[in-house]
């Protein structure tokens, strides 16, 4: 069950890998983690070397890890944690801020054990902690973090059990903050901590009113479902005072949103947070930490703009803006500088995962075969053919209208039984030829008639990819997220086809028809002609955040294979971890089938067939073997040798 072999491409001297790099924007969105080499291969880059993704794919093939595969590059995750922590440390040093930075990773952004474990391991030297929003995430955090002193920030609704877990962890040396999101949580925390005789670390989440743009802006504002209003906040302070616990209130939490594209809005949010901070200190709270939540954006499009899928700032600017605003605002009040906490999830994990899949098939909207001119051909065919003789820029609209007219006439005649299938097929082929020629003519024209604006897209090829959008890229379907998508090889050849991508679910929504173009969003993606005897691989990049567990089992396509790779200093790489994706039996059991009973049922059917003399007992065994092997197999399309 191996994939098709990949040969080295024949050299195309009119095109270079550099042109591909520009076309697909690798340097714009790659954050220095991806590049193209002279052989036209996408590489994963570390500080000192780079490895072609195709070498890793080769290794997968040899290990019988079938496509699609989610590839994780450990070095990239490691580097992102390093960059985040050092960027804050540098800003703190440069601006003479008097307290440290402590990052926490929000588990919800990618809960996979491998990812959280890697973050805990790579982050230990920075005391990078975890943010949790539920009991399962809390349990995951407690069993993964090893560095006492690391922060655990508990957001979300907390019941007695949740609070108890946190209090006990405090006893073990973790700095576990309960962030109060609703007034009803406080009595539970007070009661449990008195009962267990453990002093809690308390934080409070305030509702921010600063205006934030982008997809997730509803996490701020008056109607936000999270955080306390100012009157709830003053009530909380009074309650804590009454319980003689105001000194436990040590953290102010203000999550502005996710994927905040505009640095000015972040600055505005920090100023607002500082006002809360200063006044809470004035009320007698012993605040020592200020937590700005998530929001550090990923520049998916590489446009470096304040568009919702981009960001108009660098990591360094983000850190400096926060530190600078914090320092200058709090210094006015003569307050001791608090420890800065952020909960960057997306920016931490997005870069390290790539979805790789092969292309199974291509549909083209071109004539399969042009009909020969025949003396007894239908007059409408002749008319359609003639359109090509008067096609020129001034007449594109007329030609377009005529071609449609003749084609529709033929379809009508077919319905009435007056032309046969062969004639209709000839007309459809000719029609596509005319449209293709019109499309070519449009390329040379400065102004395209309104009617014909969508022609290029309507003639685009459909490349069928071996993946499920709903399982692996749910945000494309749910919120029109853009991810960089490109071939990972053959980039020294010019991609001459225009395509959209369809997945292998039987759902018309299972397609990708919005791509990151050189100048904004494009409805088609340039791709190479797929070769008969060679596998064609595409990569979807920056998919490490929010995609994996939001995915669903549409058509019962399950989890993909996952491979974690570490790149070594000598250019070699190790397959550190691999997880085989769901088998068919796995996904069936998720929807409450019992694979054992299913086998028994099928065996009974087969046995009956033996009894009735329709198959032999030996045939029965073959049929059952196929059934059984299938149950243990991958849910995606598997190539035979
Ligand atoms: C989702 C979330 C985050 C993560 O935000 P990113 O933009 O992915 O960094 C952080 N904190 C809270 C409270 C969240 O809900």
Is 346 touching ligand 1 by the criterion CB < 6 Å?
yes
Strands 69-73 and 42-45: unpaired
168 within 8 A of 199, measured Cβ to Cβ: no
* Alpha carbon of 135 to ligand 1 centroid (Å): 17
Ranges of each domain in the chain: 95-342, 379-456, 584-631
- Average pLDDT of the chain is 93
> Is the CB of residue 74 less than 8 Å from the CB of residue 44?
no
Report the separation in Å between the CA atom of 294 and the middle of ligand 1, taken as the mean of its atom positions: 4
Q: What's the CATH class of domain 379-456?
A: mainly alpha
Q: Which two tokens stand for residue 556?
A: 């019962």
Q: How far is the CA of 363 from the centre of ligand 1 (A)?
A: 41
- Do the strands 50-52 and 42-45 form a parallel or antiparallel pair, or are they unpaired? antiparallel
SS in 3 state form for 144-206? HCCCCCCEEEECCCCCHHHHHHHHHHHHCCCEEEEEECCCCHHHHHHHHHHHHCCCCEEEEEE
State how far the Cα of 565 lies from the Cα of 407, in Å rounded to an integer.
54
Instruction: Work out the pLDDT band at 1, boundaries 50, 70, 90.
Output: very low
| pLDDT tens column, 324-343 | 999 999 999 999 999 999 99
Please say whether the beta carbons of 330 and 381 come within 8 A.
no
pLDDT of residue 153: 98
Q: Give pLDDT, residue 176.
A: 97
Q: Give residue 51's pLDDT.
A: 96
Rounded distance between C-alpha atoms, residue 376 and residue 100, angstroms = 87
Provide mean pLDDT across the span 280-286. 95
| Distance in Å from the first CA to the final CA of the chain | 5
The mean pLDDT value for 153-180 works out to 95
User: 584 pLDDT exceeds 50?
Assistant: yes
Architecture of the structural domain at 95-342: Alpha-Beta Barrel (3.20)
Output 546 or 6, whichever has higher pLDDT: 546
Give 256 Cα–ligand 1 centroid separation in angstroms. Answer: 9
**Residue 465 near residue 472 (C-beta atoms within 8 A):** no
For 452-489, give one letter per residue: b (16+ CB within 10 A) or e. beebeeebbbbbbbbbbbbbbbbbbbeeebbbbbbbbb
Ligand 1 centre from 259 Cα, in Å? 9
Condensed to tens digits (0 to 9), the pLDDT of residues 47-106 reads: 888 999 999 999 999 999 999 999 999 999 999 999 999 999 999 999 999 999 999 999
Rounded average pLDDT over 453-457: 91
Cα 296 to ligand 1 centre (Å): 9
Nearest residue to 402 (alpha-carbon basis) of 427, 365, 369, 367? 427
* CA dist., res. 139 & res. 133, Å (int): 11
Is any ligand 1 atom within 6 A of the Cβ of residue 253?
no
Residue 465 parent element (H or E):
strand 461-465
| Candidate of 290, 345, 347, 479 to mutate for ligand 1, largest count of ligand atoms within 8 Å of Cβ | 345
Q: Could you tell which of 343, 352, 479, 546 is best to mutate to test the pocket of ligand 1, judged by most ligand atoms within 8 Å of the CB?
A: 343
Asked whether 203 lines ligand 1 (CB < 6 A), one says no
DSSP secondary structure string, 577-591?
EEE---BHHHHHHHT
């Amino acid at each position: 069950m191996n994939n098709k072999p990949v040969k080295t491409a024949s050299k195309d001297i009119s095109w270079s890998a550099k042109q591909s790099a520009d076309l697909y924007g690798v340097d714009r969105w790659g954050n220095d983690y991806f590049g193209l080499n002279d052989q036209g291969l996408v590489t994963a880059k570390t500080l000192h070397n780079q490895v072609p993704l195709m070498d890793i794919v080769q290794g997968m093939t040899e290990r019988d890890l079938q496509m699609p595969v989610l590839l994780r590059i450990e070095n990239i995750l490691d580097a992102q944690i390093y960059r985040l922590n050092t960027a804050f440390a540098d800003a703190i040093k440069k601006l003479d801020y008097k307290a440290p930075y402590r990052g926490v990773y929000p588990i919800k952004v990618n809960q996979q054990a491998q990812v959280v474990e890697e973050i805990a391991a790579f982050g230990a030297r920075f005391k990078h902690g975890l943010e949790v929003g539920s009991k399962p995430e809390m349990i995951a955090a407690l069993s993964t973090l090893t560095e006492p002193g690391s922060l655990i920030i508990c957001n979300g609704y907390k019941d007695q059990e949740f609070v108890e877990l946190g209090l006990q962890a405090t006893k073990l040396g973790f700095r576990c903050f309960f962030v109060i999101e609703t007034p009803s949580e406080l009595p539970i925390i007070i009661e449990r901590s008195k009962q267990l005789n453990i002093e809690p670390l308390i934080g409070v989440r305030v509702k921010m009113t600063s205006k934030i743009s982008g997809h997730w802006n509803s996490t701020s504002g008056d109607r936000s479902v999270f955080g306390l209003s100012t009157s709830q906040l003053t009530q909380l302070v009074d309650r804590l005072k009454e319980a003689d616990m105001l000194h436990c209130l040590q953290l102010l939490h203000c999550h502005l949103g996710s994927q905040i594209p505009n640095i000015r809005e972040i600055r505005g949010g920090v100023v607002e947070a500082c006002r809360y901070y200063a006044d809470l200190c004035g009320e007698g709270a012993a605040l020592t930490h200020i937590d700005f939540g998530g929001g550090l954006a990923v520049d998916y499009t590489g446009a470096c703009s304040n568009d919702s899928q981009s960001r108009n700032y660098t990591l360094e600017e983000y850190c400096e803006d926060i530190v600078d605003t914090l320092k200058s605002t709090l210094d006015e009040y003569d307050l001791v500088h608090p420890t800065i906490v952020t909960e960057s999830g997306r920016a931490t994990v997005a870069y390290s995962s790539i979805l790789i899949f092969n292309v199974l098939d291509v549909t083209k909207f071109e004539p399969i075969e042009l009909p020969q001119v025949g003396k007894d051909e239908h007059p409408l065919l002749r008319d359609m053919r003639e359109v090509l003789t008067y096609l020129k820029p001034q007449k594109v609209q007329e030609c377009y209208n005529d071609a449609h007219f003749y084609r529709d006439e033929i379809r009508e005649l077919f319905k009435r039984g007056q032309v046969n299938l062969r004639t209709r097929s000839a007309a459809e082929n000719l029609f596509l030829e005319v449209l293709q020629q019109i499309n070519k003519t449009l390329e040379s024209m400065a102004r395209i008639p309104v009617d014909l604006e969508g022609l290029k897209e309507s003639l685009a090829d459909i490349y069928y990819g071996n993946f499920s959008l709903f399982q692996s890229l749910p945000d494309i379907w749910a919120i029109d997220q853009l991810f960089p998508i490109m071939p990972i090889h053959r980039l020294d050849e010019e991609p001459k086809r225009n395509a959209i991508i369809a997945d292998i679910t039987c759902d018309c929504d299972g397609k990708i028809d919005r791509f990151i173009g050189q100048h904004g969003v494009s409805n088609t993606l340039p791709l190479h002609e797929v070769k008969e005897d060679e596998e064609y691989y595409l990569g979807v990049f920056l998919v490490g955040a929010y995609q994996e567990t939001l995915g669903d089992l549409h058509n019962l396509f399950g989890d993909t294979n996952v491979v974690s790779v570490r790149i070594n200093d000598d250019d070699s790489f190790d397959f550190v971890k691999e997880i085989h994706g769901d088998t068919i039996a796995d996904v069936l059991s998720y929807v409450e089938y019992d694979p054992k009973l299913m086998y028994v049922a099928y065996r009974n059917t087969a046995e009956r067939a033996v009894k009735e003399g329709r198959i032999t007992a030996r045939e029965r065994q073959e049929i059952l073997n196929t059934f059984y092997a299938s149950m243990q197999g991958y849910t995606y399309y598997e190539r035979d040798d």
